[in-house]
Structure 1
């Protein structure tokens, strides 16, 4: 079964398919797989739908192409924000995706084939098991443009710890390599070749597709204990980001970034 939210390669897409009890969700945007509000909404919906589908026992989340896994927020939409309400609404898109991943009763395996920036790191952190390719460097660049990784912060801190999250958030211009991310717990596995990464994803997803859905759902609940307040917490964080993106510092920084 395949569901395409859109086939438009100019504006991006989210595609879902289920084969042999494995749901694969793929997202794409021509600007390094960045995520505008529309794709964030579609991604959250696809994750929720797969989680509710009895034919899906496990989910593989992937990005298209061979460049970046995810460049984070769409700078085009960030530059267009004019009110605090619009800002909060945009950043709530990442909150919805992370909360959909958190509440999904199926394990989510993230296929991280390339660099992750900002919200892309948050998505990798919200996955239950991330399998990455060498070269999948990470960076939280938000502070450098006058905001901060507020919405994704709880997910990154939960997976990597406060120390690693703080290092990423404070030194917003520095890339950390895949081995650093693996040692800090963001990546469960790091592979030297695309073939070995795909083999590992295939092996794990196959094994989980034959595991007990009830047992896996209970285990996932246990892994995500003490996060029930995230629905409210991440919305509060979105409000903070929505205010900061209106500052002159942020506007100037986003404008300069768009000129590159």
Structure 2
């Protein structure tokens, strides 16, 4: 299904591997409807007996995910709308957390804000040297409140601090790998795709029940996210209405 404003999302399933691809003309950013569709898709694949592993990827060769849609952030007119929008990311991360299947990531370019959170919520990440990441929220007058617990789980407090306190600094693919956000880095897409194919083929030979149980074990001690991420979405929903945030969003949108 494709709509220029809402973005695209489609899944193919072959030999127990589900390949889910999302896209949006604005650097694969997420309007709320696309967040909701991806959340629903992950929940469906979690229960699909014909699927053992999910490969999540985005369209194009440049940006992996630019995070939240600036257009929708600017359209927020009250706290309830703001909370609802940021809850979209919260519910997506919660779906990835509860998913019974391993979710492997294919990252071919830049990730910003919510895109970094998405990357951190993946179970295993392949990337190319074209990956670079940053959390720009603080420079917009808000903060990465929904994203923070996800990055904290994967990369630790020091990495989270380095990202959110330096919203203007890009971190390289090898920095992300060193911090545990990325498992393997390749020179180009061709080498990455070959690496993914070999990796997935090997995993699919494993007992799917064992894979599902290991997924559960690796996400232990995150039950509090059910409340924490929603509470944090409310904080972002309030701050997005500030004058500073509106001015910065307009400035970035018009670049």
- TM bin (shorter chain): over 0.9
Matched, 1:76 2:71: yes
Matched, 1:120 2:127: no
Give the alignment partner of residue 46 of structure 1, picking from 3, 26, 41.
41
Does the Cα contact within 8 Å between 1:57 and 1:208 map onto a contact in 2?
A: no
**1:8 to partner: Cα distance:** 2.8
Aligned partner of 1:93 in structure 2 is: 88
Does the Cα contact within 8 Å between 2:6 and 2:33 map onto a contact in 1?
A: no
Does the Cα contact within 8 Å between 1:84 and 1:239 map onto a contact in 2?
A: yes
Once the two structures are superposed, residues 228-259 of structure 1 have per-residue CA deviations (whole angstroms, 9 ceiling, x without a partner) of 11111100010000000011111111111111
Q: Which moved more, 1:77-86 or 1:248-257?
A: 248-257
Aligned partner of 1:157 in structure 2 is: 152
2:82 alignment partner, SS class: helix
Aligned partner of 1:217 in structure 2 is: 212
| Gap runs ≥5 in structure 1 | 1-5
2:22 alignment partner, SS class: strand
Hey, what's the Cα distance between the residues in 2 that align with 1:200 and 1:51? 24
Give the alignment partner of residue 222 of structure 2, picking from 214, 222, 227.
227
1:114 alignment partner, SS class: coil
Matches within 5 A, 1:234-249: 234-249=229-244
Give the alignment partner of residue 186 of structure 2, picking from 169, 186, 191.
191
TM-score normalised per structure 2: 0.98
Does the Cα contact within 8 Å between 1:22 and 1:206 map onto a contact in 2?
A: no
2:167 alignment partner, SS class: coil
Matches within 5 A, 1:13-28: 13-28=8-23
Aligned partner of 2:135 in structure 1 is: 140
**1:168 to partner: Cα distance:** 0.3
Runs of 4+ in 1 over 6 A off after TM superposition: none
2:151 alignment partner, SS class: helix
| Gap runs ≥5 in structure 2 | none
2:171 alignment partner, SS class: coil
Hey, what's the Cα distance between the residues in 2 that align with 1:93 and 1:144? 21
Hey, what's the Cα distance between the residues in 2 that align with 1:115 and 1:147? 21
Aligned partner of 1:3 in structure 2 is: none
Does the Cα contact within 8 Å between 2:6 and 2:31 map onto a contact in 1?
A: no
Hey, what's the Cα distance between the residues in 1 that align with 2:72 and 2:205? 41
**1:222 to partner: Cα distance:** 1.0
Hey, what's the Cα distance between the residues in 1 that align with 2:125 and 2:161? 21
- Taking only aligned residues, the RMSD between alpha carbons, in angstroms, comes to 0.9
**1:210 to partner: Cα distance:** 2.5
TM-score normalised per structure 1: 0.96
**1:56 to partner: Cα distance:** 0.4
Hey, what's the Cα distance between the residues in 1 that align with 2:174 and 2:130? 9
